[in-house]
């Protein structure tokens, strides 16, 4: 029978407690949200939603084509200019998603003969980019500049090191300055995904690369998403102008994909301008993360100290993690649930988002619910 193996895989997932399901949410959920990636609390900000609505009225519901045909509007180029200026780089290129941005950057910057050195904790989009690239990938120990240096030393030719800036599972930050130093010893480029650092780290939320003193460097390329701190949709690649020009001509997920919808570009641009005016939002997100961690650990829970806005709480097993998250939801709190195969170390955990707009009362309530429902 065609696709008969799917039933076998489904049964294996069911036995392991790893079945995933979709849960549509209403427009006005009563849950306290610590599950989304809306780090700065901008997804529903009136300026952001107004930016989306104005863009849809002016430009239509969709981009109508790929970026190289009809999918580039004046709004897209305005967003790219302001992103580049805010982050201190020469140029930026906007994609329909952060996933597409990572696929583009890795595949276009690692042609045949290139060595790709990839952190073992990287996001799936970077991993898929390595798989699709024509270069050879060597996976190295997590957040280990010496391992990167050793790997680069085995290769004579073009090379690029690929890493998240803030890892999505535990929220720990990569040692960017040391990684850059390891790359420069061997003339390698550094490509970092700042999905969880942009808007939270760096001066006024300018990102982890800016915070590490790497903004504008000619050997550093940054990818990011518009769907987390900016509360919109889409992704971008930032870096030297010649790198961005190369992506326009060589990146398949740019050339062959429909451009980002104008409403998403308008929302992201409005959020970026708001962040410029209110840089304290970045510091507040970090402060909330620190407060959540301190209160959770004081309550006897095993929580990983956050470097940005992700707070991870360990669970005894995948089944316990699923039940724990469900019990939190029943008590009015939405939390993320990470379990194999989504976690590289096989350890299940609750994943909490420290939003800048959480009040002290909401923080206290979240910690209480998590503690009361622990397995």
- Spell out the residues 6+ positions from residue 359 whose beta carbon is closer than 8 angstroms to its own: none
Exposure string over 15-41, b if 16+ CB within 10 A, otherwise e: eebbeeeeeeeeeeeeebbbbbbbbbb
pLDDT at residue 213 greater than cutoff 90:
yes
Percent of the chain with pLDDT over 70: 100
In tens, the pLDDT along 257-308 reads: 999 999 999 999 999 999 999 999 999 999 999 999 999 999 999 999 999 9
The pLDDT confidence band at residue 1, using thresholds 50, 70 and 90, is confident
Helix or strand holding residue 316 (H, E): none
| pLDDT tier at 233, thresholds 50, 70, 90 | very high
Whether residue 216 is predicted with pLDDT greater than 90 in this model: the reply is yes
**Per-residue pLDDT, 320:** 92
Domains of the chain: 29-44+279-372 (3.90.1150.10), 46-277 (3.40.640.10)
Measured distance CA(179)–CA(194) in Å, rounded: 14
Query: Which residues, 6+ apart, have CB-to-CB distance to 297 below 8 Å?
Result: 303
Minimal CA–CA distance to 233: which of 260, 253, 251, 200? 260
Please tell me the predicted confidence (pLDDT) of residue 284: 98
Mean pLDDT of the chain: 96
| 152: nearest Cα among 110, 114, 123, 120 | 114
pLDDT for 23 equals 86
Encode pLDDT of 341-375 as tens digits: 777 777 899 999 999 999 999 999 999 999 999 99
Residues paired with residue 236 on neighbouring β-strands, in sequence order: 94, 224
Tell me which of 27 and 275 has the higher pLDDT. 275
- Sequence length of the chain is 375
- d(Cα 297, Cα 203) in Å, to the nearest integer? 28
Q: Encode pLDDT of 103-137 as tens digits.
A: 999 999 999 999 999 999 999 999 999 999 999 99
Over 90: is that where the pLDDT of 224 sits? Answer: yes
The yes-or-no verdict on residue 142 having pLDDT over 80 is yes
């Amino acid at each position: 029978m065609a696709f008969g193996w799917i039933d076998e895989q489904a049964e294996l997932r069911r036995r392991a407690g790893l079945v995933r399901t979709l849960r549509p949410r209403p427009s006005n959920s009563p849950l306290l949200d610590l599950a989304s990636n809306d780090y700065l609390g901008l997804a529903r900000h009136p300026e952001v939603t107004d930016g989306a609505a104005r863009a849809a009225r002016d430009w239509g519901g969709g981009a109508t084509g790929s970026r190289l045909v009809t999918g580039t509007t004046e709004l897209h180029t305005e967003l790219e200019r302001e992103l580049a200026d805010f982050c201190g780089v020469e140029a930026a290129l906007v994609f329909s998603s952060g996933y597409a941005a990572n696929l583009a950057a890795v595949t276009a910057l690692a042609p045949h003969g290139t060595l790709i050195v990839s952190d073992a904790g990287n996001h799936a989009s970077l991993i898929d980019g390595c798989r699709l690239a024509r270069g050879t990938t060597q996976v190295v120990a997590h957040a280990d500049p010496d391992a990167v240096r050793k790997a680069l030393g085995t290769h004579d030719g073009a090379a690029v090191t690929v890493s998240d800036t803030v890892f999505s599972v535990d929220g720990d930050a990569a040692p960017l300055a040391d990684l850059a130093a390891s790359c420069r010893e061997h003339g390698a480029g550094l490509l970092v995904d700042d999905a969880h650092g942009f808007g939270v780290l760096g001066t006024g939320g300018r990102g982890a690369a800016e915070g590490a003193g790497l903004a504008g460097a000619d050997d550093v390329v940054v990818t990011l998403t518009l769907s987390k701190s900016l509360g919109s949709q889409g992704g971008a690649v930032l870096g030297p102008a010649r790198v961005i020009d190369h992506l326009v001509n060589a990146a398949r997920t740019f050339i062959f994909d429909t451009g980002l919808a104008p409403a998403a570009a308008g929302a992201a641009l409005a959020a970026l301008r708001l962040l410029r005016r209110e840089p304290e939002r970045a510091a507040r997100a970090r402060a909330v993360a620190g407060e959540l961690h301190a209160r959770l650990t004081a309550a006897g829970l095993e929580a990983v100290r956050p470097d940005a806005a992700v707070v991870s709480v360990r669970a005894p097993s995948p089944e316990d993690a699923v039940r724990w998250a469900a019990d939190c939801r029943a008590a009015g709190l939405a939390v993320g649930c990470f379990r194999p195969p989504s976690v590289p170390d096989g350890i299940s955990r609750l994943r909490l988002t420290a939003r800048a707009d959480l009040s002290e009362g909401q923080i206290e309530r979240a910690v209480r619910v998590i503690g009361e429902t622990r397995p």
